[in-house]
Structure formats: C-alpha cells, structure tokens
Amino acid sequence: MVKIAPSILSADFAKLGEEILDVERGGADLIHVDVMDGHFVPNITIGSLIVDAIRPVTKLPLDVHLMIEQPDRYIESFAKAGADYITVHVEACTHLHRTVQLIKSFGVKAGVVLNPATPASLIQPIIEDIDMVLLMTVNPGFGGQKFIKSVLPKIAEVKAMAGKYNQNLEIEIDGGVNEETAKLCIEQGATILVAGSAIYDQEDRHAAIQKIRGK
Ligand code: DX5
Ligand code: ZN
C-alpha cells in the first residue's frame, strides 16, 4: 500500500506539535519537512532547530526535504536533529556521491530529488547508493501549487530503473498531490506520496489521508 507523508508546510505553525499528532493519528506513515533557504527556492521556511523540536513529538520517520544550496553544510545538523531521511536536489549538488555518502555516514537514509524539468537519467549513476528518489510534480518553493502532469512518465521511468538496479528504492512524489492526482501517481509506481494542502486544509485529516491513499 502506498505510504502517505503529510507536509507540515501547510500546517498551523502556531500549534505544530498538535498538527503532527493529528496526522499521525490520522494514519500518516512519515512526516515531510520542507526546508527552504531563499536561494535555491524563493521561499524561506524552517531549519534543524524545528526538526529537533518535533523529533520527540512523533514516532513517525521524519522525511527532510532540503531545498537549499550547498546542502553539505547542513546535513550534520539535520542528522543530529533526528532526520530519518534527508533528500537533496540533484540541481543543488556539484558532487552528488559525496553528498549522499555524507548523509549515510550519519546513519540517515539518503534520497535524491529531481525538479519537474530534470530528466530521470541523472539518477542513473547514483541509483544503487540511495534509499529514495523524490520526483517533484511542482517547481519547489510553495505549497498549494498545481500538479504538473507531464512528470507522470518519469515515475514509470524511475520505477523501471529501480526494478533493474535497486528493488528497495522508494519513489516519492511531491507537489499538487490530491485525491485525483494521487491515483495517477500510484498507477505509475509511486510508493510514497507527499501532500500538504490536500491534508492540512481539511478539518478531518484521517479522511483526507484515506482519500489520497485511494481508500
Ligand atoms: C513544495 C514542497 C512540497 C509542498 C507540497 O516546494 O516541497 O512538499 O509542501 O504541498 P502541496 O501538497 O500543497 O502541493
Ligand atoms: Zn517537499
């Protein structure tokens, strides 16, 4: 069954702990944490301080999505704050293997992210070394954007590569995921779906998660 990772970007930050517990009770599988630096993406969000603060609140794995330049500078602080997954953008990494090894050196699972316009072939040299590929279905920076459908074939492409080179690879989709677009992603082989606004804008988070899961 597909796993659901609510993005706390769309949560009420004034009561972040409660917002996390609400989706945990609602059946979430991971908590997705969007880190933005105002350089790689136009927006600025949260740092390792917040990861450290929410770590004791939930038993769920923390899936930390770094939308930052020079991610190597911050990997240790996110690892020590309690990240279970750290994903870095291929577009932000000059030495991708070095960055992935750095993440793994802290015992953290490593993922590589591709923007919508970045081809799947760029993960070929690293696919056997990583735990997750995250495919963006919006241009990163904000919650609540429209799903870019032209990314769908890339999910199947990564699925085929995983079948050949890394059967345990998680394929995560992020951006504009809702009840309708979730179905399309699952059909192509997604294993984890991130959803921000489609979960946190709803009063009943359990129902929202179930709908995205297709239940
Ligand atoms: C976009 C972030 C996403 C975002 C998803 O830059 O990486 O994780 O929070 O939000 P929705 O689901 O509202 O598109
Ligand atoms: Zn994200």
C-beta of residue 99 within 8 angstroms of C-beta of residue 88: yes
Instruction: Compute, in angstroms, the gap from residue 73 CA to the centroid of ligand 1.
Output: 23
pLDDT of 215 above 90: no
Residue with the nearest Cα to atom 9 of ligand 1?
A: 143
Q: What is the pLDDT of residue 7?
A: 98
Name the token pair of 15: 């009561």
Instruction: Compute, in angstroms, the gap from residue 49 CA to the centroid of ligand 1.
Output: 20
Question: Whole-angstrom distance between the N-terminal and C-terminal Cα of the chain?
Answer: 10
- What would the pLDDT profile of 44-102 be if each residue is shown by its tens digit? 999 999 999 999 999 999 999 999 999 999 999 999 999 999 999 999 999 999 999 99
- What would the pLDDT profile of 137-148 be if each residue is shown by its tens digit? 999 999 999 999
In order of their start, the domains of the chain are 3-213 (3.20.20.70)
176 is known to lie in a ligand binding site: yes
Tell me, using a 6 A CB cutoff, whether residue 195 lines ligand 1.
yes
Locate the ligand 1 atom nearest the alpha carbon of residue 199 and give its number. Answer: 12
Q: Is 34 a catalytic residue?
A: yes
Average pLDDT in the 164-182 region? 98
pTM: 0.98
Share of the chain above pLDDT 90, in %: 100
Q: Which of 22, 29, 34, 63 is catalytic?
A: 34
Tell me, using a 6 A CB cutoff, whether residue 140 lines ligand 1.
yes
Q: Dihedral angle at the C-alpha atoms of 201, 22, 32, 108, nearest 10 degrees?
A: 180
175 is known to lie in a ligand binding site: yes
Tell me, using a 6 A CB cutoff, whether residue 191 lines ligand 1.
no
Instruction: Compute, in angstroms, the gap from residue 146 CA to the centroid of ligand 2.
Output: 14
Instruction: Compute, in angstroms, the gap from residue 34 CA to the centroid of ligand 2.
Output: 5
Q: What is the pLDDT of residue 183?
A: 98
Q: CA angle, corner 53, sides to 47 and 57, nearest 5?
A: 130
Residue with the nearest Cα to atom 7 of ligand 1?
A: 140
Taking Cα atoms as reference points, which of 173, 178, 171 lies closest to residue 211? 178
Name the token pair of 72: 């190597």
Work out the pLDDT band at 32, boundaries 50, 70, 90. Answer: very high
Beta bridge partners of 171: 133
141 is known to lie in a ligand binding site: yes
89 is known to lie in a ligand binding site: no
- What would the pLDDT profile of 108-152 be if each residue is shown by its tens digit? 999 999 999 999 999 999 999 999 999 999 999 999 999 999 999
Q: Dihedral angle at the C-alpha atoms of 91, 78, 63, 157, nearest 10 degrees?
A: 20
Q: Is 174 a catalytic residue?
A: yes
